[in-house]
Amino acid sequence: MFDGFQLEMMELPEATLRVRYGGSGPPLLLLHGHPRTHTTWHAVAPLLATSFTVICPDLRGFGKSSKPVNHHDYEASSKRAKARDCVALMDRLGFEEFYLAGHDRGSYVAFRAALDHPARVLKLAILDGVPILEALERCDAKFASKWWHWFFYAQRAKPERAILSDPADWYQGNVESMGRENYEDFQSAIHDPETVVGMLGDYRAGIAVDQVHDREDREAGRIIKCPLHVIWSLKDDLEDLYGDVLSVWQPWAEKAVTGAGIDCAHHMAEEAPVELAHALKTFFGGI
């Protein structure tokens, strides 16, 4: 897994991140989603490493990265805080500007990094996500029934008790679709109580402060300046919830938003790595 890549624990100003990186060429930062770790990219990263220097961290609170100490507003778990980690990580590696792609919860961090640090992000790819504020404002019975976990995970104490009673059954996943080493890393994460709490903090921040940050940006007229490409899983429910996914994103972007669906279910990096790597290479200019 990740042949030729280096693995390090990197101390940054606000967090310590487990980071895997390798390849050569322009820097490309990949951000995983919930409940995965950076190893979800194990089949995609080597394909991209022929054209890019690929950097894959465990997000703050996830995997083996440090766990934030949260208070009432969960700012330490906010996408703004995690975006600061991304910029600090790229500073540590010596990259002033970089390409950025995020999946699921990582897509919200990527979105926030592009908004808060526009001079740093050259191009942005969003995988299986819409802005948190858009999701909450468009919430209806269909969203609440399909994405009920957003609201359950945002509650205090009860979610971790439910998950930790049987993490493997709660999150499922299997060796065949994930690959053995990725599956084992995932199992280690979901069986660690501190990691489970750290992952839940991401959802609690979404309800508490992330939507506030999105609203402040919208009211101030701040939008994404760099090219934005959106990719979604055709066998997941993004199209079912929002119809034209690109139209949800267009008000948040200065340039015309591009994108398309991939014929797979939600964990696209594991289920369709070749197709996803091709789509990212095409957008970021590696082809």
Q: Which residues are catalytic?
A: 104, 266
> Is 1 inside any structural domain?
no
pLDDT for 70: 84
What's the chain's average pLDDT?
97
The domain in which residue 44 lies consists of 6-284
Helix (H/G/I), strand (E/B), else coil: 199: helix
CB atoms closer than 10 angstroms to residue 61: 27
Q: What confidence tens digit (pLDDT) does each residue in 158-212 have?
A: 999 999 999 999 999 999 999 999 999 999 999 999 999 999 999 999 999 999 9
Q: What confidence tens digit (pLDDT) does each residue in 43-64 have?
A: 999 999 999 999 999 999 999 9
> Is 238 inside any structural domain?
yes
Helix (H/G/I), strand (E/B), else coil: 149: helix
Q: How many domains does the chain have?
A: 1
| CATH number of the domain that residue 259 is part of | 3.40.50.1820
> Is 164 inside any structural domain?
yes
Question: Is 249 in contact with 229 (CB distance < 8 Å)?
Answer: no
Map tokens 């979800």 to a residue. Answer: 40
The Cα–Cα gap between 199 and 190 comes to: 9
